[in-house]
Amino acid sequence: MTRTSPVTQVVAIGIGAALFFVLGRFAAIPSPVPNTSINIQYAVLAVFAVLYGPLVGALAGFIGHLLIDVTGYGVWISWELASGVFGLVVGALLLRNAIQDGEFSKAFAVRFSLAVVLAHAVAWLVVAPLGDVLFYSEPANKVWVQGILAFSVNTVTTLVLGLLVLSVYARTRTRTGSLTHEQ
């Protein structure tokens, strides 16, 4: 993984949060479960976490979700934290990768898939429901249904779109050692 400068990270956080907000606010598909939708922004967040690391993933997810909630439902810290945790976990589990060098292997696809499943499980089956119960005294059965739906649909959309975007991105990069000098 190529090290990124602090300026690059700040820019990535801003762009990631903005994309997360726009996709979450305007491309969310309603679900039959109240206050829960089918989202594609987690695929973009996972890509940013892979490319720029866990700090960018965490802050882009938290800030992006905060912007969605502030412009819609009002602040709901447990779900905003869950989005940040998702970005943090994906970024931390995939710190060592060679996507920037144009490498997208089956092994990376498996690692990405496992990281996404684990990150969504922690975010939507632990952080969000527990936060709802502890911070807002929400009924446990309601928040677990929301969490299970969020985990399920977000995992599927992140895997499909995230793997697609990362594989296409890797193809646009020049592989390390692929250029030779003719004499």
DSSP per-residue letters across 103-172 = ---HHHHHHHHHHHHHHHHHIIIIIHHHHHHHHH---HHHHHHHHHHHHHHHHHHHHHHHHHHHHHHHHH
Domain parsing of the chain, residue ranges: 6-172
The one-letter code for the residue type at 124 is W
* Residue % of the chain over a pLDDT of 90: 81
Q: What is the pLDDT of residues 130-179, one digit of tens each?
A: 999 999 999 999 999 999 999 999 999 999 999 999 999 999 987 656 55
* Residue % of the chain over a pLDDT of 70: 93
Contact 161, 40 (CB under 8 A): yes
Contact 159, 120 (CB under 8 A): no
Q: What is the pLDDT of residues 91-111, one digit of tens each?
A: 999 998 989 888 999 999 999
Return the CATH fold of 6-172.
Arp2/3 complex 21 kDa subunit ARPC3 (1.10.1760)
Contact 16, 42 (CB under 8 A): no
Examine the pLDDT at 83 and tell me if it is beyond 50: yes
